[in-house]
Structure formats: structure tokens, C-alpha cells
Structure 1
Amino acid sequence: MSTETRFFDIAALARTLPETAETMLTDLRLTDEHDASCRIFRVYRAVPAHYHTSSDEYLYVLTGRAEIHIEGSEPRIIGPGELVFFKKNTVHAMPRIVEEPYIVLAIDTPRRPPEDVHFVNPADGTPASFIKTY
């Protein structure tokens, strides 16, 4: 059993994400354990419908606002202090950034490998065009 403890200044770390990116998102992995991964990510442009096969996802909005579409729910605008949860294989998208910077704290259970992104329309992107990890 690991006794490793880590503390994170989330606001300070969020400020280290780049102002612009070639990818739709950039992220900074805080933990990357088998049972869960935790990261901060910034969204730079519309994210097409996609899903992840490896993990459930918790998204806690730190800054900004965006429109989110989650399969089985009405589209809505989410902003700071809101938490969204959905199960693996749930199609979701962020078609519009309303207020920037749009930065989210994400917890994936179990761990989500960076390459686990599957676009509903494969022409919309690849893991390499989806996210860059710092």
C-alpha cells in the first residue's frame, strides 16, 4: 500500500497551461495511477462528439464557461463550481466555448490513457489532434 501524499495548487497549475494550442485541449496530469487519473485541462476550440472506453469521467469546471452535450441529457452551459459526471462509453461534446479560458479539473476512474478518445465521426479528429499532455 502506497503512503505517498501529494498536494496541488490547482489555480497556480491551471495558469501554466498555454494560451493557445494546435490541439483541441491541453492537459497537465496530476496523478496517473492504475485506479484513477487526475488532470487539469484547457479547451481551446469546439470539441466534436466523442467517448472514452476505459473510464468514467468527473469534470469540475475551474474557469470559463462552455456548452456541453452529454448523451441522454439536454445540452447546457456549465461554468465554475459545476461538476459533471458520466460513465465510460457516453458520447459527449463541447461545441462552443462561451467564456475563456475554459479550464477543467478531471478525474477519470479507472485511469484513462491519453490515447483513449474515439470520435463519433472519425474524420473529426485523432488522439494526437485531441489533446497534448504537458
Structure 2
Amino acid sequence: LSGRDIEREVLPLAADQNLAVLPWSPLAGGFLSGKYTRDGDKAGARRDAFDFPPINKEKSYDIIDVITEIGKQHGVSPAQIALAWVRLQNGITSTIIGAKNVEQLQDNLKSIEIELSADELQRINEVSALQKEYPEWMVDRQGADR
């Protein structure tokens, strides 16, 4: 969700060649787990010393806001919502998760029980959408008044 760049070329290629995709770091190195907020990152967290994978933090905080709200409606963690979203994407056969303890693993595994509504998927897609790249943004800009 924090880094959907794979959707530009890799996912279309995989679909064209009938290949499955196994994404890694669906929680952006724990950033989308729910423990990070705009009010302050969790002290002593792994991302304090090793900020990887690189993400747009402001956009990711917007994503956290949405998946946290949806998670509350389902009574589940933001991590579970993020993983449920990944599971529902075309071409995804499984996901590499990075749980560092049994509690995180159990939380992550519960994501397979979550069914997101079309509205919830749309909200997540909108907040996490890829930014347009050149030349797409230029075409839109130049054609705005036509």
C-alpha cells in the first residue's frame, strides 16, 4: 500500500505472462502495522535504526488513518486490513510477511478471514493510489483546458 510501484510494469507483465506474484513487505517494514502515528513513531522500533523499505511517510500516514478506521469497523488491526487488501489484488498468490513474534504472526494470519466491501477497497485504493508519472501528468496538465 505504501509502495505500489510494482503495479506500473511488474503486475501487468506477470498477468500477460500468466505468472503469479509474491509480494514482500506488505506492511512497509511494519509502518502499516498500526504502531506508528503522526503523533510520534514508536520509540525503539526497527524503523528507527533501519528505515527500509523507503516510503512516503505522509502518504503512508494517510493510509494508516484509513486502514485504522476500517479496522475498527471490523474489530481488527490495521495490519490485518492491509494484508486483506493485498490478498484481494489480482495476480497475488500469497504474501511474504515479516512477523517477528508469534503474536504478530497470529494477527497477520487472521487477515485471511476478512472480507472487505467494495467501498472499503475503493477508499484504500484512493488513499494509496500511485502518483502519475511523466508523461501522464504532463498530458493531463496540457489537456486540462481542452
TM (norm. structure 1) is 0.28
Q: Which has the larger radius of gyration?
A: 2
Comparing both structures, which one devotes a greater share of its residues to strand? 1
Comparing both structures, which one devotes a greater share of its residues to helix? 2
